[in-house]
A and B are shown apart, each in its own frame.
Chain A
Amino acid sequence: MIIYHPLLGPRDSDEFTYLGDASLIDRPDGLAEDAAARFAEYVYMRDNPAGTHRELWFHAAGDQSWLVVTRNTATHEITHVELASDVARARRAGR
C-alpha cells in the first residue's frame, strides 16, 4: 500500500506503524461519572467495519507524524490522508 503523506508525498506503508480506529483520538473524560464504563468501551470495543475505515498510522521511519488514513478494509484502497493533528484540532473547534 502507498500512503499519500500530506507533507512528504507517496510513502510505502512499511514505513508506518498502525494503531487502529481514528476514534482513539477521542479519549473519554477520566473524571466523568461513568468514566470506567466509557474507558472500557474506548479501550476494547471497535466498529471494525468491512469497507470505509478511518484509522491512525504513525510515520515511524519518517517524520514521526500521526496520520488519519481513510482506507477501504475490503480492498485496501486509500482514499484520503490527513495529519492527525489537523483532525484533532478541527474536532476541538467543532465542540
Chain B
Amino acid sequence: MGRFSALRLLYEGLTGNRGWTPHWRDAAPQPAYDIIVIGGGGHGLATAYQLAATYGQTRVALLEKGWIGGGNVGRNTTIVRANYLLPSNQGFYALSLRLWERMEQDLNYNVMMSQRGVLNLCHSDAQRDAAIRRGNAVRLSGADAVYLDAGALKKDWPFLDYDNARFPIRGGLLQPRAGTARHDAVAWGYARAASDRGVDIIQNCEVTGFDIRGGKVFGVETTRGHIAAGKVGVAVAGNTSRLMGMAGLRMPIESHVLQAFVTEGLKPVIPGVVTFGVGHFYISQSDKGGLVYGGDLDGYNSYAQRGNLPMVEHVAAAGVSLMPMIARARMLRSWGGIMDMTMDGSPIIDRTPVEGLYLNGGWCYGGFKATPGSGLVFAHLLATDTPHEVAKGFRLDRFARGHVIDETGHGPTPNLQ
C-alpha cells in the first residue's frame, strides 16, 4: 500500500497518478478467526484497527453487510466534541478527543480534522449557570471550555439573532478543541490501517445468526457462510436490537431516524459549529461550502433510513430563527440514519449474558465523536475481557441496577432525547 506523504503526492501528481492502489484489501472470509467484529462503521473499524495495532491480535475479521462507510459513519454531520457533564462520560470523551487530535498521524490518513470550535448557546440565566458549571466540569476532565457572553460572541458570530423574542442569546459555552472531521475519511482511514495490519475487511457479508451452544458463542452465520470465532464483537449502530435479538437478547434500545441537511455551496460564513436552544438545531459549514445542519429525531421507531416532512420544516424554522441570513440559502439534499437510542442516552460497551459475545452500541445521535475512543475501549474489552478504565460505566445491566447515565435528564423516553 505504501505511506501517504507530501512527497508521494508530488511524485504521483507528476507521473499521472498511476501509482495509487485500493486503500484496503477486499478480503474473502476464512473459515475461522480469533475475533470477529460485526459492523463496518466507524466503531467496528476503529475496534478492528485497535485490536491489531494496540492489542497484537492477528486473526481478526470485520464483517459488513453493505459497504464500508454506508452506515451512520457516512451519514452524520461530523461534529466532534467532549463537553459532557457526568463522570461516566467525561473521561471517555476526553480520551476520545485526544485520540482525534493524533488520528491523522496514527492512521497516516488525512481525515480533515478541523478544531474550529463548538459553541452551545444559552438563552436564560439558569442556562448560563448550567453552562458555566458544565464548562468547569469539562475542564476538570481534561477537555476545554470557555464561557462567552453575548458581547464577546458578537465578534465571531455577528449574524445570530441575539434579540430573538422567545430565545434571546445570553451567551454560550465554547469548546475550542472541538470541531469537525471528514466522516468518510475516518472510515476509509481506519479500514486501510486495519487492513495493513492484517485484519480481513469483508464487505457484502451480512450476519444472519449466531452459532451459540451451551450459552457460548462459537461463530456467526452469514450470507457468505459459517465463520467460526473465539469471540464476537457487535458494533452495528441502529441494528443493535436486531443482532442481539438473534442471540435471544432484548435491549434497552429503540431505533429512531435522525435527518440531516445540506445547502448549496456558499462562501465561508459560519466560523465553527453552533447549537441553538430550539429543537436541537445545530449548524456548521463544510469545507466545500455547504451549510450542514440538523435538529431533533423524527420521534418514532424507524429502520427506514429516511424521515418525514414535518421535521424538515421544524429544523428549517429553527435555523432561520437562529440566523435569519440563511433563509435564502437553498437546501440541496436531506437524508436520514438509524440511531440506536438507549433509555438513558448513553452507550453500552460490555460483555453480554452469552459467553464470548460482546456489545458496543447505543451511541444514539452522538457516536461519531466517540469513534476513536470507542474502538480503543472495545478492543480492550475484547482482548482482555476487562472493561477499559474510562468505559466502566457503560454496562448493559445498569438500567436494572438503577445506575443510568442520563446526561440530558430525559428519563426513558428515547424519542424525546
Residues of A within 8 A of B (CB): 1, 12-14, 17-21, 37, 40-41, 43-50, 53, 55, 71, 73-76
Q: Are A73 and B303 in contact (CB under 8 A)?
A: yes
20 A-B Cβ contacts within 8 A? A12-B310, A13-B310, A18-B299, A20-B413, A20-B414, A41-B250, A43-B399, A43-B412, A44-B412, A45-B250, A46-B241, A46-B254, A48-B242, A48-B254, A48-B301, A50-B303, A73-B255, A73-B302, A73-B303, A75-B304
Q: Are A76 and B250 in contact (CB under 8 A)?
A: no
Q: Does B252 contact A (CB under 8 A)?
A: yes
CA distance A1 to B304 in the complex (A): 13
Q: Are A48 and B400 in contact (CB under 8 A)?
A: no
B319 → A minimal CB distance (Å): 18
Q: Are A46 and B253 in contact (CB under 8 A)?
A: yes
Q: Are B308 and A76 in contact (CB under 8 A)?
A: yes
Q: Does B343 contact A (CB under 8 A)?
A: yes
A73 → B minimal CB distance (Å): 5
CA distance A73 to B204 in the complex (A): 23
Determine the chain A residues whose CB is within 8 A of the CB of B148 once the complex forms: none
Determine the chain B residues whose CB is within 8 A of the CB of A17 once the complex forms: 299
Q: Known pairs A18-B299, A48-B255, A73-B303; list 7 more (Cβ under 8 Å).
A: A17-B299, A37-B400, A41-B250, A44-B399, A45-B250, A48-B254, A76-B302
Residues of B within 8 A of A (CB): 239, 241-242, 245, 250-255, 299-304, 308, 310, 343, 399-400, 412-415
Q: Are A40 and B399 in contact (CB under 8 A)?
A: yes
- B249's closest neighbor in chain A, by CB? A45
- Tell whether A46 pairs with B251 under 8 Å between CB atoms, given A18-B300, A40-B400: yes
Q: Are B304 and A74 in contact (CB under 8 A)?
A: yes
- B240's closest neighbor in chain A, by CB? A48
Contact of B250 among A12, A14, A47, A50 (CB under 8 A): A47
A9 → B minimal CB distance (Å): 19
CA distance A21 to B251 in the complex (A): 13
Determine the chain B residues whose CB is within 8 A of the CB of A76 once the complex forms: 302, 304, 308
